[in-house]
């Protein structure tokens, strides 16, 4: 597989949930090989009823996306057919497929969770920086130096992920007006105080870390150069440029610059911790104002989300006649009636009994169309007449269809004559269009000797004939089809 992960490996997430069920079967097998029958059996045990033919289609699609691959192991075989069948009928999950599955399931499982922030990681980071500062970067053993660098970056990576997600959640919560009683209590009694305590602790812990990073800055180049360790360093030392290995955090100067940007402020650029503190204070201030407003109006008083969810539950459990009654009662969806507005002097009033199909196009004022009010703001504007544009588009479409029909007629005439006459460029395009689909219908299986397609009144058939060749002369050259006999004729 290419060293670059293709975005299509995520395609299964937005498709049928059956793909997630199948990947869940493979994800717990430690790269074991499974046949469609075995996958079907495991899905049945998990409570998912799928037939084997559907499972086979889903497996092939996951293989196309790159989440699965066919096994290279065939085991004990007795015939060539058995060998070919086993190679194509046993699947295992790819490394990319495993990582994508773990990532997707982790996100879906925790997307609504409130993730805590462990500021104890900052204590670990400070201790690791102090240990690294006590080492002489120029003389310390490379292995000891690399271990000290890992001790610095491991807690920082975890801390940065946790605090970024936590404050991103606060930023989303500040605009919510649909809180139930439990959520209101959580925000007003727990979250505001918790954020205040965390900000104070974060500010207190960030200052010594910033001082340590400032002291270590002159030695970063030496540390990066001498702390090269692990598989990435060995691959680089061996000169294997074609093998890509993910480096550990801290193995490049850019990693140290990113770490310093979290805690060390420079002229005109505050540290990321200071930026998070400022944004968090603004978000909590907005959240507090919203909570104050909700406490005056009552929980969920500013939003009808809870009411609409309750109404949706009524619809979900209602029968068809009852659902119509609910819709009429909730939204006033009765028979359609005409709405009248003041017209301009040059328009005649329309009788309310005239059908909408037969009535002239209404001229609706901009204020009513865009703002929902009938305040008079000047003369109403007419709807643009697009009749000429429609006629032009229809005429152009008819001309295109006429040319395509002439090209198909020329192709059928040439096919009946054994392609002796030269084809024009439009007729060649029609031939390429039907020939491509006929060859696709033929497929890669050598036992399939014929492929055909019927398209727009043209039937194209190709047959495998070893040694045969079909030459189609055109004004731009000759199209030569090797190993296939080509027939083009009318479909009826």
Residue 390 domain-assigned? no
What is the pLDDT at residue 156? 85
- Give the Cα separation of 428 and 417 in Å (integer): 15
Co-location of 198 and 282 in the same domain: yes
User: In a 10 Å sphere around its CB, with 0-12 CB exposed, 13-18 middle and 19+ buried, how is residue 311 labelled?
Assistant: middle
pLDDT at 185: 64
Report the predicted TM-score, pTM, of the whole model to 2 decimal places: 0.42
| Domain match, 179 and 96 both | no
List the strands of the sheet with 450-455, edge to edge.
Answer: 450-455, 458-474, 477-490
Which of the residue ranges 16-25, 36-45, 301-310 would you say has the lowest mean pLDDT? 301-310
Res. 229 pLDDT band, cuts 50 70 90? low
Looking at the fold, whether 73 and 152 belong to one and the same domain comes out as no
Is 271 a member of any domain? yes
Last residue of a domain, one of 282, 297, 312: 297
> Would you give the end-to-end CA distance of the chain in angstroms?
46
Among candidate residues 321, 314, 293, 287, the one with its CA nearest the CA of residue 196: 287
Residue 110's alpha-carbon distances to 24, 106, 190, 279, 485, in angstroms, are 17, 6, 20, 24, 59
Within-domain flag for 450: yes
Looking at the fold, whether 177 and 80 belong to one and the same domain comes out as no
The answer to whether residues 32 and 135 belong to one domain is no
**Who has greater pLDDT, 94 or 287?**
94
Last residue of a domain, one of 62, 85, 110: 110
- Domain identity same for 74 and 136: no
For the chain, how many structural domains are there in total? 3
Tell me what pLDDT residue 434 has.
87
Establish if 374 belongs to a structural domain.
Answer: no
Which of the residue ranges 215-229, 344-358, 362-376 would you say has the lowest mean pLDDT? 344-358
Whether 289 maps to a domain, the answer reads yes
Identify the pLDDT of residue 221.
83
Lowest mean pLDDT among 161-165, 229-233, 402-406, 465-469: 229-233
pLDDT in tens, 337-355: 545 544 555 556 666 666 6
The pLDDT confidence band at residue 271, using thresholds 50, 70 and 90, is: confident
Confidence tier at 399 by pLDDT (50, 70, 90) = very high
Asked if residue 283 and residue 193 are part of one domain, the reply reads yes
User: What's the rounded Cα separation, in Å, for the pair 211 and 264?
Assistant: 8
Nearest 5°: the CA angle 212, 216, 221 is 155
Q: Which residue has the tokens 């990947």?
A: 23
Instruction: Centre a 10 Å sphere on the Cβ of residue 132 and count the other Cβ atoms it contains.
Output: 22
d(CA 265, CA 211): 11
Which residue shows structure tokens 């717990």? Answer: 28
Look at residue 376 and tell me if it is in a domain. Answer: no
What pLDDT score was predicted for residue 186?
63
Please return the burial class of 176, using the count of CB atoms within 10 Å of its CB with bins 0-12, 13-18 and 19+. middle
Give me the mean pLDDT over the 264-278 stretch: 81
Among 110, 140, 172, residue at a domain's last position = 110
Beta-carbon contacts of 417 under 8 Å, excluding residues fewer than 6 positions away, are: none
313 within domain boundaries:
no
Instruction: Kindly indicate the confidence band of residue 184, based on its pLDDT and cuts at 50, 70 and 90.
Output: low
- As a whole number, the mean pLDDT across the chain is 75
Angle, to 10 degrees, between the axis of helix 192-216 and the axis of helix 272-297? 170
Q: For residues 135 and 132, give the distance between their C-alpha atoms in angstroms, rounded to a whole number.
A: 5
Q: Give CA–CA dist 48/402, Å, rounded.
A: 52
pLDDT at position 300 is: 45
Q: Is residue 12 part of a domain?
A: yes
Q: HEC profile for the chain?
A: CCCCCCHHHHHHHHCCHHHHHHHHHHHCCCCCCECHHHHHHHHHHCCCCCCHHHHHHHHHHHHHHCCEEECCCCCCCCCHHHHHHHHHCCEEECHHHHHHHHHHHHHHHHCCCCCCCCCHHHHHHHHHHHHHHHCCCCCCCHHHHHHHHHHHHHHHHHHHHHHHHHHHHHHHHCCCCCCCHHHHHHHHHHHHHHHHHHHHHHHHHHHHHHHHHHHHHHHHHHHHHHCCCHHHHHHHHCCCCCCCCCCCCCCCHHHHHHHHHHHCCECCECCHHHHHHHHHHHHHHHHHHHHHHHHHHCCCCCCCHHHHHHHHHHHHCCCHHHHHHHHHHHHCCCCCCCCCCCCCCCCCCCCCCCCCCCCCCCCCCHHHHHHCCCCCCCCCCCCCCCHHHHHHHHHHHHHHHHHHHHHHHHHHHHHHCCCCCCECHHHHHHHHHHHHHHHHHHCCCCCCCEEEEEECCEEEEEEEEEEEEEEEEECCEEEEEEEEEEEEEECC
Same domain, 152 and 200: yes
Provide CB contacts within 8 A for 114, sequence distance 6+.
166, 169
Enter the tokens of residue 491. Answer: 């479909």
One domain for residues 103 and 125: no
Q: How many residues does the chain have?
A: 492
Domain extent for 71: 7-110
* Low-confidence winner among 43-47, 96-100, 150-154, 165-169 (lowest mean pLDDT): 165-169
Q: Is 90:70 a contact under the CB 8 Å cutoff?
A: yes
- Measured between alpha carbons, how far is 386 from 464 in angstroms, rounded to an integer? 53
CA angle 204, 207, 212 (to 5 degrees): 140
Q: Are residues 81 and 144 in the same domain?
A: no
Phi first, then psi: what are they for 463, rounded to 5°? Answer: -130, 140
Dump pLDDT digits (tens) for 44-99.
888 888 888 888 888 888 888 888 888 765 544 445 444 444 445 788 888 888 88
Given pLDDT bands bounded at 50, 70 and 90, which one contains residue 233?
low
161 and 103, same structural domain?
no
Percent of the chain with pLDDT over 90: 1
Task: Summarize the confidence of residues 195-221 as an average pLDDT.
Answer: 83
d(CA 275, CA 270): 7
What's the pLDDT at 15?
Answer: 80
Q: Specify whether 128 is located in the same domain as 242.
A: yes
Percentage of the residues of the chain whose pLDDT score is greater than 70: 68
């Amino acid at each position: 597989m290419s060293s670059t992960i293709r975005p299509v490996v995520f395609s299964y997430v937005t498709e049928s949930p059956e793909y997630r069920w199948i990947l869940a079967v493979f994800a717990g097998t430690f790269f074991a090989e499974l046949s469609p029958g075995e996958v079907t059996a495991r899905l049945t045990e998990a409570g998912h009823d799928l037939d084997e033919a559907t499972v086979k289609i889903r497996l092939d699609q996951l293989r196309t996306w790159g989440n699965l691959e066919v096994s290279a192991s065939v085991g004990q075989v007795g015939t060539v057919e058995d060998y070919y069948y086993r190679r194509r009928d046993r699947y295992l999950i790819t490394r990319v497929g495993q990582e994508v599955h773990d990532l997707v399931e982790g996100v879906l499982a925790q997307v609504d969770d409130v993730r805590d922030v462990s500021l104890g990681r900052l204590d670990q980071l400070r201790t690791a920086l102090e240990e690294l500062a006590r080492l002489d970067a120029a003389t310390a053993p490379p292995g000891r130096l690399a271990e000290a660098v890992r001790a610095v970056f491991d807690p920082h990576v975890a801390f940065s992920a946790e605090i970024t997600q936590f404050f991103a959640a606060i930023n989303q919560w500040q605009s919510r007006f649909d809180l139930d009683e439990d959520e209101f209590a959580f925000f007003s009694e727990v979250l505001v105080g918790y954020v205040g305590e965390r900000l104070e602790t974060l500010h207190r812990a960030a200052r010594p870390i910033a001082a340590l990073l400032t002291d270590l800055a002159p030695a970063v180049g030496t540390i990066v150069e001498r702390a090269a360790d692990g598989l990435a360093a060995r691959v680089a030392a061996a000169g294997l440029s074609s093998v890509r290995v993910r480096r550990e955090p801290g193995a490049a100067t850019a990693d140290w610059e990113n770490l310093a940007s979290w805690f060390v402020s420079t002229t005109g650029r505050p540290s990321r911790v200071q930026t998070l503190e400022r944004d968090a204070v603004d978000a909590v201030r907005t959240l507090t104002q919203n909570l104050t407003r909700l406490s005056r109006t009552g929980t969920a008083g500013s939003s009808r989300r809870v009411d609409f969810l309750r109404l949706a539950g009524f619809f979900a459990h209602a029968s068809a006649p009852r659902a119509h009654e609910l819709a009429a009662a909730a939204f006033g969806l009765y028979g359609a009636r005409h709405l009248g507005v003041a017209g301009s002097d040059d328009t005649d009033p329309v009788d309310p009994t005239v059908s909408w199909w037969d009535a002239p196009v209404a001229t609706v004022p901009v204020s009513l169309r865009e703002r929902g009010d009938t305040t008079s703001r000047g003369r109403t504007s007419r709807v643009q007449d697009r009749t000429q544009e429609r006629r032009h588009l229809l005429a152009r479409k008819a001309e295109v269809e006429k040319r395509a029909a002439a090209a198909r007629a020329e192709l059928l005439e040439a096919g009946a004559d054994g392609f002796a006459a030269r084809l024009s460029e439009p007729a060649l395009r029609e031939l390429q269009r039907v020939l491509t689909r006929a060859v696709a219908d033929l497929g890669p299986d050598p036992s399939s000797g014929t492929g055909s397609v019927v398209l727009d009144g043209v039937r194209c058939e190709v047959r495998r004939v070893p040694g045969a060749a079909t030459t189609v002369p055109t004004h731009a050259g000759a199209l030569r089809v090797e190993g296939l006999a080509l027939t083009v004729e009318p479909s009826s």
